[in-house]
Amino acid sequence: MAKRTVGAEKRERLRNEFFKDEDAWTGENEKGWFKAPRTLRLYLSCSHPKS
């Protein structure tokens, strides 16, 4: 089992405190969606050639 970071434990604790009966959305078995980093838009705009 992977070692959990302090930040992951804090996020899980807060999620359980405020959203006790809800599951975190993972995107598994979903079509048309994927997890992307926040910087993807910045990367794409920087890599687009200026014409």
CB 48 within 8 A of CB 39: no
Main-chain dihedrals φ then ψ at residue 2, nearest 5 degrees: -75, 145
Query: What is the residue-level pLDDT of the chain in tens, covering all 51 positions?
Result: 567 899 989 998 999 999 988 887 777 787 877 778 888 888 888 887 776
Place of tokens 């975190």: 24
Q: What is the rounded CA–CA span in Å between residue 22 and residue 31? A: 21
- Ramachandran quadrant class, 26 (left: phi over 0; alpha: psi -120 to 50; beta: rest): alpha
How much is the pLDDT for 1? 57
Strand residues in the chain grouped as ranges (E) = none
